Structure 1
Amino acid sequence: MEKKPSRSTEDRGISRARFLAGAAALGLAGAALPATGAQAAADTRTGRPGRGLTRRGVVYTVGAGETPGTAWDPARMRADIRAVRRDLHADTVDVTGDGVERLTATAAEAAERGLHVWLQPTLGDAPQREILEHLAECGRFAERLRRHGASVELSVGCEFWLFVPGIVPGETAQERIENLQTGTADPEQVQRRLTAFTARAAAVGRSVFDGRLSYAAAQDDEVDWTLFDVVGIDYYSYHQDPADYVRELRRYLRWGKPLAITEFGTCTYAGAPQAGGMGWSVVDYDKDPPEIKGGLVRSEHTQAAYLTDLLAVFESMGLYAAMAFEFLTADAPHLADDPLHDLDMASYAITKPVRDRPGDPASPWHWEPKEAFHALSRRYARAAC
């Protein structure tokens, strides 16, 4: 992971990308497990339809953006949600990020478009009281949507040990990651605090929302899943044998509850799947402008193949839901003729931001679909038939 945030994020804590990188760097992304039965392996290798998923979707992040031009915009959001429904053929959108107005407006648009809404507020680096108030306000809105006939679920948050101060020592997520890396934090104390805050968040969620409740955990988090209706896991493993994914995921079924893959994906260069949640770390933010390290080769095919391979695994197991991470990373522009500065290579997004004036941060921009977008679209469309 990056040891130092970029200038654009120093005053705001680190971005969701850094959180993912931090989780992987700390060994919380899960270890490879032995292969399971031959039949499961055969199903995932051949891509034959299994029991299928109930919900197929994508993560849509709302936020302030690193520049005014990349911040959440109502008109752009509405166009994006239309594309999720019409072009990606998803039936579910995971609306995540912070800002009650941004989250609720996006959730309402998704519901209006007939999408199943997975609303997941993730206010970070704020006092615990504010995080819970933010959750409650979003949860009350989700309940209003539900009572008006929308299909909606509420997730109380994501990987609290990273987002929420007071669980791991450190005022910012960057400091908390460093304290875990250096062994400064007491693991038992961290777990007690994590368990306590998760219970508080679940209680807040239950108090304002009568639908299905969940939480998005890192792969090795210890969570009391009796508090929730759906088990949610952010999943970034890499295995050569598809059967190993099956074995690894089966452990999350032991609670007898639906399993949702709340995030899965990879970056856009050869070898990215092997990096898991560390894919973002190939950017050198000490350079101005930031550079891609290591002479990497852009590969949209690598990203697309990983996503569809995992989707085949999830379908073969009949999991409840899977949300690809993520629809768009606006602050990682694609530069087709400048691989050294093609920040989209380090993006998990299934679309690429393209500026009208390449290299100009103030330039207008639009997104274009990557191979992963088209690959998921084909799979999602077939499943809808």
Structure 2
Amino acid sequence: MKRRGVLYDVGRVLWGNWRPVFDPAVVRRELQIIRDDLRCNAVKICGRDIDRLTVAAEAALELDLEVWFSPELWCKGPDDTLAHVVTAAQAAEQLRRRHPERLVFSVATEATLFVRGIIAGRTFQRRLTNFLPEVRAGHHIAPLRQFLARATRDVRQVFAGPITYAALPFEPVDWDLFDIVSIDHYREARNESRYADPVRRLLGHGKPVVVTEHGMRTYQGADRDGNLGTGITDSTTAALHLLPLFGRLIRPRIRGHHVRDEALQARRLVEDLAILDAAGVDGTFVCTFLEPRSTHDPDPRFDLDMGALSLVKTYARGRGTTYPDMTWEPKEAFHAVAEVYRERATGL
């Protein structure tokens, strides 16, 4: 496994900014921890704001990490999305010239869901509702291929490094357009027995295959209850919490009754890595390093971190003990992934 990575979110935006506060000094410190303690040699930097992406990418490159520069303007139409992607590619090219051979550009993430107009539905929630019937009917195939053809053409005009696309496993991508084959691929009960099959099929393209997202949430049953993709945070209380003034009176909470299980998350990630390594992938990016809005609470009703994919748990107040300068603490999964990556790096 050549690339041992983690996804690092600098501010994905869907129902609010997933990283409300962006402090360059904190970002650099976290990237240093990712390199030194999580034992990564690559980081996929995701988010909407191009300045944030650039600041984080430059810090990671200076730390000798390989960077996957991944702009994500979710829930806009193809024209607006492509204009944003090309602007980001221009910024990435400036970094690539200073750090050659260490920057990969991703033109999009799961476009069938996140680019408006590929399947029916103006909002993300509506597209989720329409998802299965639209995909089964093949309505997504032509617009997706058109979008990706335009994206690769326009990006290659301004960016001279390798490009990729973070695909859903079923998306009919023309991988001849890309330098690296990439899929977001999560393992749960429904695909347990055939998890490696899509990876093996993609190896037939003769290009490096990388799993750009895989992960597990942090509660008992997360691997089999069907909520791995959407989580268990109550969307109503989460949305109300974001309202000015009034929102401070609303505490986001978890749907239903769940039991925290850090060991499950750790074990499943170690299993993922073993399966993918055996299948012959060039690398993986565990999703995700941190989720600042999914704060940990001793009361399970409000322990949003149970529903998080993150390797660290964020505190609403106070600081961690492992890293007293950070507002989070590593979970069991952090240490488990670090040990796997250490073994892969040393060949032990």
TM-score normalised by L of structure 1: 0.78
Corresponding residue for residue 329 of structure 2: 368
Determine the C-alpha separation between the residues in 2 that align with 1:114 and 1:62: 19
Give 1:197-236 correspondences, 5 Å limit: 197-236=147-186
**4+ aligned runs moved over 6 Å, structure 1:** 240-243
Determine the C-alpha separation between the residues in 1 that align with 2:163 and 2:12: 26
Corresponding residue for residue 242 of structure 2: none
Classify 1:301/1:136 alpha carbon distance in 2 versus 1 (closer, same or farther; 3 Å): same
Corresponding residue for residue 333 of structure 1: 295
Corresponding residue for residue 54 of structure 1: 2
Contact persistence 2:232–2:307 (CA under 8 A): yes
Determine the C-alpha separation between the residues in 2 that align with 1:187 and 1:156: 25
Determine the C-alpha separation between the residues in 2 that align with 1:64 and 1:153: 19
1:201-220 superposed Cα distances (whole Å, 9 cap, x missing partner): 11122112222111001111
Classify 1:126/1:377 alpha carbon distance in 2 versus 1 (closer, same or farther; 3 Å): same
Give 1:323-362 correspondences, 5 Å limit: 323-335=285-297, 337-356=298-317
Classify 1:201/1:355 alpha carbon distance in 2 versus 1 (closer, same or farther; 3 Å): same
Instruction: Output the amino acid matched with 2:176.
Output: T
3-state secondary structure, aligned to 2:56? helix
3-state secondary structure, aligned to 2:121? coil
Give 1:239-258 correspondences, 5 Å limit: 244-258=194-208
Contact persistence 1:162–1:177 (CA under 8 A): yes
My pick for the range that moved more, 79-88 or 339-348, is 79-88
Contact persistence 2:187–2:272 (CA under 8 A): no
Corresponding residue for residue 73 of structure 1: 23
3-state secondary structure, aligned to 1:192? helix
Determine the C-alpha separation between the residues in 2 that align with 1:143 and 1:187: 39
Determine the C-alpha separation between the residues in 1 that align with 2:230 and 2:272: 20
1:278-307 superposed Cα distances (whole Å, 9 cap, x missing partner): 354422233443332332110111001111
Contact persistence 1:268–1:300 (CA under 8 A): yes
**1:365: how far off?**
7.7
Corresponding residue for residue 177 of structure 1: 128
Task: Determine whether 1:88 maps to 2:88.
Answer: no
**1:239: how far off?**
5.5
**1:322: how far off?**
0.1
**1:134: how far off?**
1.6
Contact persistence 1:266–1:303 (CA under 8 A): yes
My pick for the range that moved more, 264-273 or 136-145, is 136-145
1:79-108 superposed Cα distances (whole Å, 9 cap, x missing partner): 211111121110000011111101111111
Give 1:266-305 correspondences, 5 Å limit: 266-275=216-225, 278=228, 280-287=230-237, 288-305=250-267
Corresponding residue for residue 108 of structure 2: 157
3-state secondary structure, aligned to 2:207? coil
Corresponding residue for residue 313 of structure 1: 275
Determine the C-alpha separation between the residues in 1 that align with 2:215 and 2:179: 24
Classify 1:63/1:242 alpha carbon distance in 2 versus 1 (closer, same or farther; 3 Å): closer
1:36-93 superposed Cα distances (whole Å, 9 cap, x missing partner): xxxxxxxxxxxxxxxxx01000001111775798332222212211111121110000
Determine the C-alpha separation between the residues in 2 that align with 1:202 and 1:172: 25
Structure 1 gap ranges (5+): 1-52, 359-363
Instruction: Output the amino acid matched with 1:178.
Output: T
TM-score normalised by L of structure 2: 0.86
Give 1:90-169 correspondences, 5 Å limit: 90-150=40-100, 151-169=102-120
Instruction: Output the amino acid matched with 2:276.
Output: F
Structure 2 gap ranges (5+): 238-249, 320-324
**1:194: how far off?**
1.0
**1:186: how far off?**
8.6
3-state secondary structure, aligned to 1:214? strand
Classify 1:320/1:373 alpha carbon distance in 2 versus 1 (closer, same or farther; 3 Å): same
Q: Kindly tell me the number of residue pairs found equivalent between the two proteins.
A: 326
